[in-house]
Chains A and B, each alone.
Chain A
Amino acid sequence: MLFLATLVIFTPIATVLFVLIQRGLPEIRWEFLTQMPRMGMRQGGIFPAIVGTFYLVIGTVAIAMPVGIATAIYLSEYAKETRLKRLIEIAIVNLAGVPSVVYGLFGMGLFVLFLHFGSSILSGALTLAMMSLPVIITSSREALSSVPYSFREASLALGATRWQTVKHAVLPHALPGILTGTVLTIARAAGETAPILFTVAAFYLPKLPHSIFDQCMALPYHLYVITTQVPNVRISLQYGTALVLVGLVLGINLIAVLIRAHIRSQKKW
């Protein structure tokens, strides 16, 4: 029974990976990874899309991680049990379920148009960060609540302030869990198309962005473009791009797995 369930989950993933590798791997050459697209994206590489996605991931981490962790710490360690807190918690749970295209439209309305950031890396990263925040907050709070209450009690009873208690007696023990959750969330964001569609992604931009106010290409959107918007693109080029995207996401996930394995090996209580 369990074996069957495992098989049901594993088979599609393995098949997808197999097909991607079989058809995409021949395309993965140094030039493919490091060159600009040419001939209306039918030739050349996907370098700007890789760089764009890289910048977006960095931007998203830089925004979502501090804000998310700070929010989680505030809600878990400081906020009193009031109705407002309940309301915020419910809102966070619900925000995690909002479809990503809605975040995309909202990001366009708020960052691109209202705040005049234009279609830019800044707008895109902010939108991706906004989408990631609810999940980062939730997983960070789980990590915080897995730290025994007795650590906080012992610390406070020694005369430590709340912040000292969080910093020395709670956070160090929750950090690996927080990082794992954050990295997994970021990996998901890296593969999203809808949130970047209206906020940053360029259809075709054969140069690299110079500042956070520039547009950029991005892997998920580029894949969408060369598979549906541009006629007569080599199939192997499409599969190669998909393989790079999946490889990137799996690579980020692997980091999370490694962090988790590391915690397990040093689980202290």
Chain B
Amino acid sequence: MFAKITIDNLNLYYGSFHALKNVSMLINTNQVTAIIGPSGCGKSTLLRCINRMNEVITNVDVEGSIEIDGEDILAKGVDLRELRRKVGMVFQRPNPFPLSIFDNVAYGPWVHRIRNLKELQRRVEESLQAVGLWDALKDRLDTSALKLSSEQQQRICIARLVAARSEILLMDEPCSALDPIATAKVEELIYELKKEYTIVIVTHNMQQAARISDESGFMLLGELVEFGHTDQLFTTPQDQRTEEYITGRYG
């Protein structure tokens, strides 16, 4: 097992607000790493550091380092397009474009200059296969993605990343807009996907973290309080604050 992502002493400031404090963690290839913690502790902020999407909204200051495959992605001159292709993101609310299913899935390769129709078709099929939608949708690829159920939309959003050949999937509460049955199906998909991808998932649902992740981190007020094997973290937490949180005694 080797580390796909190495986060070392990461600090992040929104203006004068210190949102991430000395976060360090190793995220392994072909594993699901879960990040849990109460609302506002910085889970999304941490996730958005890995594809540098924080910089899109406001001016933020980041210190420390994040290496992916040994490459410092916070360095000046990093190709953000390539970084974000490689590090894909799934959002809390499914956000397909108001385009056809085909155009949604082909969007990633398309903006990365793959314009050959055959190649696009190949990728769309392969991506929809990967997220388990191909058989259901192959005959209506030209209908709007917005006509699909939330679960299917979220799968489309994952297929978009597969088609772009992402290697890392960042998922920010990907199931919070889904009902329990859909959630279970998406969890199954995540389990399947980890054979090919490195997955970092933020979730409010501790059962979910326990079910699907190999390693887990618990965050509180911008700090990564504890990080380790999921079984260990949930059965024998080392830090009292972790224990209080997972046993539901936290605030």
Question: Contact between B81 and A159 (Cβ–Cβ < 8 Å)?
Answer: yes
Question: Contact between B112 and A268 (Cβ–Cβ < 8 Å)?
Answer: no
The listed residue (B81, B88, B91) touching A161 by CB distance below 8 A is B81
* Stretch binding the partner chain, chosen from A10-18, A148-156, A252-260: A148-156
Closest to A169 in B: B97
Q: Which of B56, B84, B98, B161 has the most CB of A within 10 A?
A: B98
Question: Contact between B84 and A164 (Cβ–Cβ < 8 Å)?
Answer: no
Closest to B79 in A: A159
Smallest Cβ distance from A157 to chain B, in angstroms? 4
In the bound complex, residues from chain B placing their C-beta under 8 Å from that of A161 are 81, 111
Question: Contact between A156 and B146 (Cβ–Cβ < 8 Å)?
Answer: no
- Cα A156 to Cα B144 in complex, Å, equals 21
Question: Contact between A158 and B95 (Cβ–Cβ < 8 Å)?
Answer: no
A173-B98, A269-B98 known; A159-B112 Cβ under 8 A: yes
Question: Contact between A151 and B97 (Cβ–Cβ < 8 Å)?
Answer: yes
Q: Is the interface of A mostly helix, strand, loop or mixed?
A: helix
Question: Contact between A268 and B146 (Cβ–Cβ < 8 Å)?
Answer: yes
Q: How many residues of B contact A (CB 8 A)?
A: 29
Q: Does A160 contact B (CB under 8 A)?
A: yes
A150-B91, A173-B98, A269-B98 known; A158-B144 Cβ under 8 A: no
Closest to A152 in B: B56
The listed residue (A151, A159, A173, A268) touching B111 by CB distance below 8 A is A159
Q: Does A85 contact B (CB under 8 A)?
A: no
Q: Does B157 contact A (CB under 8 A)?
A: yes
What band does the interface of chain A fall in when counting residues whose beta carbon is under 8 Å from B? 10 to 19
Closest to B147 in A: A268
Closest to A165 in B: B111
Q: Does B82 contact A (CB under 8 A)?
A: yes
Q: Which of B81, B157, B160 has the most CB of A within 10 A?
A: B81
In the bound complex, residues from chain A placing their C-beta under 8 Å from that of B43 are none
A161-173 Cβ-contact flags toward B at 8 Å (1 or 0): 1001000110001
Q: Does B85 contact A (CB under 8 A)?
A: yes
Q: Does B218 contact A (CB under 8 A)?
A: no
Q: Which 3 A-B pairs have the closest CB atoms?
A: A268-B98, A159-B84, A159-B85
Which B residues are closer than 8 A to A by beta carbons?
51, 53, 56, 59, 80-85, 88-89, 91, 93, 95-98, 107-108, 110-112, 144, 146, 157, 160-161, 164
Which A residues are closer than 8 A to B by beta carbons?
80, 148, 150-151, 153-161, 164, 168-169, 173, 268-269
